[in-house]
Amino acid sequence: GAVVSQHPSRVICKSGTSVKIECRSLDFQATTMFWYRQFPKQSLMLMATSNEGSKATYEQGVEKDKFLINHASLTLSTLTVTSAHPEDSSFYICSAIPATGSYLGAFFGQGTRLTVV
Amino acid sequence: AQSVTQLGSHVSVSEGALVLLRCNYSSSVPPYLFWYVQYPNQGLQLLLKYTTGATLVKGINGFEAEFKKSETSFHLTKPSAHMSDAAEYFCAVSGNEKLTFGTGTRLTIIP
C-alpha cells in the first residue's frame, strides 16, 4: 500500500523556537494533505487542509500564523509550529490523498510527538 | 454537518472473546464510514471502510463492520480477540471530503 512518512517522529524544543514537521508521500503524488492534532487520549482534530500550490485552509480556531503549512510539491507538505510554547505540545499527524484517488483512500503518517519545554 | 459518537471510551474483553466496538454517526449526505486503529505513538491504519454496496464490510486482521442506515450505526466486530488487537480504535465519517473522527475506544485484551 501507499506510504506516508512523517519526520521527525519525536522532537523536543525550547519554548520560543520554531519546529518544522515534514509529511511525504513516498510512492504516490498527493494533491491534498491534511494536518491533525491529537491530545493525549483524545481524538484527532483537523487543523488544516493543504493543497499543492495554494494556501492551506485552516479550521476554525487554528491560528494560521502559528501553524504555517506549505505544500510546495505533490509529495511534500510541511507544518511549522512557530514560537512554540508548552501548550503546543501534542501529537501531530498528517494524511495524504493520492492525486489519482479521493479522500476515500487517505493514508496517514506515523505521527510526530512534539514536546515544548 | 457530520458527527460520530463512539459509545464506551474503554472496552475490555478476554482473549478469544467477541469484540464489539460501537459507532453511531450523523450525516446530512450519504456517509462514507471508516474504522481506523492506532497503536501507541503511531499514526492511523485503516481497518475497513464502507462506501456503497454491500453493507457488511470485511477488513484486515479479521475485523468487520456492518452499515445499518436505519440505526445510523457502523459497529466494529471481531469474533475472537487476540492480544495484538489491544489498541485505540477510531470510527470516522466523511460526506464532504473531510474526515470527522469519533473520540476513540481503547480496547484492552485480558489474557
| pLDDT tens per residue across span A25-64 | 998 888 889 999 998 777 889 999 998 888 899 999 999 9
CA distance B95 to A40: 27
Do A20 and A80 meet the contact criterion of CB atoms below 8 Å apart?
Answer: yes
Q: A102 touching B, CB under 8 A?
A: yes
Gap from B91 CA to chain A (nearest CA, Å)? 10
Do B36 and B63 meet the contact criterion of CB atoms below 8 Å apart?
Answer: no
CA distance B46 to B61: 11
Q: B101 touching A, CB under 8 A?
A: yes
Going by DSSP bridges, is the β-strand pair B32-38/B2-7 parallel, antiparallel, or unpaired?
unpaired
Closest by CA to B41, choosing from B84, B77, B87, is B87
Q: How confident is the model at residue B31 (pLDDT cuts 50, 70, 90)?
A: confident
Q: Is the pLDDT of residue A81 over 90?
A: yes
| pLDDT of A104 | 65
Gap from B13 CA to chain A (nearest CA, Å)? 19
Gap from A93 CA to chain B (nearest CA, Å)? 7
Gap from A17 CA to chain B (nearest CA, Å)? 23
Q: Determine the residue among A6, A31, A43 to mutate to test chain B binding: the one whose Cβ has the most chain B Cβ atoms within 10 Å.
A: A43
Q: Is the pLDDT of residue A101 over 80?
A: no
Going by DSSP bridges, is the β-strand pair A67-73/A30-38 parallel, antiparallel, or unpaired?
unpaired
Model confidence over B42-65: pLDDT tens digits?
Answer: 888 999 999 888 999 999 999 999
Which grid cell is A31? 494533491
Q: With CB atoms and an 8 Å threshold, state whether B43 touches A102.
A: no
Q: How confident is the model at residue B98 (pLDDT cuts 50, 70, 90)?
A: confident
Beta bridge partners of B36: B46, B90
Q: A50 touching B, CB under 8 A?
A: no
| pLDDT of B90 | 94
- Nearest chain A residue to B97 by CA distance is A103
CA distance A82 to A53: 21
Q: Is the pLDDT of residue A100 over 80?
A: no
